Structure 1
């Protein structure tokens, strides 16, 4: 065999070996990739799609929506379109789906649920021939609300399979009659909730930083015996149920709880303080719960810093505080950044603690998302609120990384 043939053989063999190694490496990471797809990518993608895609009404009354397609939305729809809807409503009453339609239309026009349900019951007892001849008049006789174009407009608007309405609602906005966007009539709660959520998360982050930085510094520089004992107390919350830790704050902060009993018993206060079910109790309980997430990243970085740096700076005439700011603090920025991001992002999406100890004043946006998923059954609005929360976190992370990140901070 010639040398060139041997070289070609060796090259082909090397390529086969490289492909085999790549395939082996891929098979090792494939379970992790599948887990990420099913547990992370797929839920987020589903949430994003559901926030704009809502085909329930279009599937319930497709013929009515087709009949209303060319309606101008000003006067009442044509009699033929109203007759088609009457037939659809009778069919839904027979299939026991009129309540679902009423629920959907009621979101677009509050108060219309009773009109649709009552009319469905009356139409369900009529024959098809009577409905075909005078469907619109029968609707008007069943309920005077059918003479108002608003309910027909709500039906047509709710029939859009793809809609930005849930995002507009999540931003306290709505579509104006003449087109465009305008502030929503009535209570405006969601923007205020986002603002309050960010404010509470910021309070918690600052408090965990104030409490966690000195403790992490002491743990990193203390003798091994003392540091190990204190580290057990730092890790102890991870071995205790979150529900137990949260309900313990209820026992401490309630009107007849430990804190109020001590204060009144010592004569510091004459009457119990209202501490539970407030924003204060949410911040306090979450600061306690999230403190380890600030301490551990800081400790891991501080443990690797040589104490001789500070001693060298002070031996050269620097005072402790300037030496700390110019030498020690910059070296802890990786741990500081990790702790701040970790605590802030976790606290923004926290649910159990605000639900148990926050009351109305201490509720966060996650509690409203859970309400729409579990009680109002408005999954689309919950998905829109969650998508906006995700977008807000990504924007804040980008701003932090761009302007405040460890690589961009210049001290001294």
Structure 2
């Protein structure tokens, strides 16, 4: 019987049947792999992705006034924002203040409005306490008599913006900008800027720490990659051991070492190198020393992982053809390690962008990084909207820097081996 007849004989498997069985087996394997990874996916979504998404969503949410004073919010949304509103708006304001006070939400509303203008909390609280029990003939003159600030168009404009959700106000405030009464966006003067300077300072400190880690870490990684395995493993312990120690403990240790009466200043003065203690703490020097010490192992391990896969044959071949050892190292060896350099620089830079403990303990008043301002907004000011906006910009900066690093050295092509 011909082969073609045997292939199409009843009951014999065909090529289409084999392909279908293969696809079915692949789908079954994919489902099994997904089920195995499902607990990890759920854990990451619930403890990492969801909290970050909620915090970023706070940067455009403005729910305090709309939730506590819905009727006033609808009226403010329809108001054109020109001048002082009419009697109906004042009546809704009085009703909203009474409703918020009875529900216990007046403090939340006052705190939110106080972010826009420092006197708003006292204005709302004073007005709510002095509201007459019975409705007067006209609410507008009654409220203006209680506090003349209610006759200010600026107060009502801020109240209208606070009742708008979603809002760009927090995103603008995070870069020291605001919407003017004319509807345009204006930045505060440079001498009054807080967050723009903090972002610039954060990028500057992170870049400096990354450069220091690269300069210190590259020779160490090269030494570990080229020593015999026994010696390399022993020295690797000095790189890995810091991971077993808390960041807070390491930072506190530098706090002790760098202070005016600490070990370093005492040693320098004892050797006669200086006659007075050097300012090594509560300034930029302390921040750079502490952060470099903490982040240096990340740079070393990232570069080392690539150097281990670089064959020494290429450098020896260049030297055998007449190249100077330094030239061979720079032109042959170093380009092969660029993926590791890029990965290490990106990892250290991103970690430095969000650093908090070390700058807070070792830095001074002029060394605040953006992470410290986010902590202040969440823990002290309770301004979650501004904290979310600052975090959103930090995420955007991280994405931009990843794109730049990837374009320069191609860190997505890194292979650890």
- Give yes or no for TM over 0.5: yes
Give the equivalent residue in structure 1 for 2:159. Answer: 155
Is it true that 1:65 corresponds to 2:73 in the alignment?
yes
Give the equivalent residue in structure 2 for 1:246. Answer: 251
Give the equivalent residue in structure 2 for 1:196. Answer: 201
The alignment's C-alpha RMSD in Å is 2.3
Q: TM-score, normalised by structure 2?
A: 0.90
1:286-305 equivalences in 2 (<5 Å): 286-305=291-310
Give the equivalent residue in structure 2 for 1:121. Answer: 129
1:129-208 equivalences in 2 (<5 Å): 130-131=134-135, 133-184=137-188, 187-208=192-213
Sort the Cα spacing of 1:269 and 1:310 in 2 relative to 1 into closer, same or farther, 3 A: same
Q: Distance in 1 between matches of 2:267 and 2:244?
A: 29
Which segment drifts farther, 270-279 or 3-12? 3-12
Q: Distance in 2 between matches of 1:81 and 1:90?
A: 14
Give the equivalent residue in structure 2 for 1:7. Answer: 13
Sort the Cα spacing of 1:331 and 1:404 in 2 relative to 1 into closer, same or farther, 3 A: closer
How far 1:208 sits from its partner (Å)? 0.6
Contact 1:293/1:342 (CA < 8 Å) preserved in 2?
A: yes
Q: Distance in 1 between matches of 2:187 and 2:221?
A: 47
Q: TM-score, normalised by structure 1?
A: 0.91
1:3-402 equivalences in 2 (<5 Å): 3-4=9-10, 6-7=12-13, 10-11=17-18, 14=22, 16-123=24-131, 126-127=132-133, 130-131=134-135, 133-184=137-188, 187-402=192-407
Contact 2:225/2:307 (CA < 8 Å) preserved in 1?
A: yes
Q: Deviations over 1:145-166 (max 9, x none)?
A: 2222211111111000110111
How far 1:140 sits from its partner (Å)? 1.9
Q: Distance in 1 between matches of 2:309 and 2:79?
A: 72
How far 1:15 sits from its partner (Å)? 5.1
How far 1:42 sits from its partner (Å)? 2.2
Q: Distance in 2 between matches of 1:189 and 1:212?
A: 34
How far 1:108 sits from its partner (Å)? 1.7
Sort the Cα spacing of 1:216 and 1:401 in 2 relative to 1 into closer, same or farther, 3 A: same
Q: Deviations over 1:223-246 (max 9, x none)?
A: 333322211111110111111100
Q: Distance in 1 between matches of 2:309 and 2:76?
A: 70
Q: Distance in 2 between matches of 1:150 and 1:167?
A: 21
Which segment drifts farther, 89-98 or 57-66? 89-98
Which stretches in structure 2 are left out of the alignment for 5+ residues?
1-7
Q: Distance in 1 between matches of 2:298 and 2:176?
A: 34
Give aligned pairs, total. Answer: 404
Which segment drifts farther, 348-357 or 21-30? 21-30
Secondary structure at 1:131 match in 2: coil
Q: Distance in 2 between matches of 1:87 and 1:245?
A: 56
How far 1:343 sits from its partner (Å)? 0.7
Contact 1:200/1:283 (CA < 8 Å) preserved in 2?
A: yes
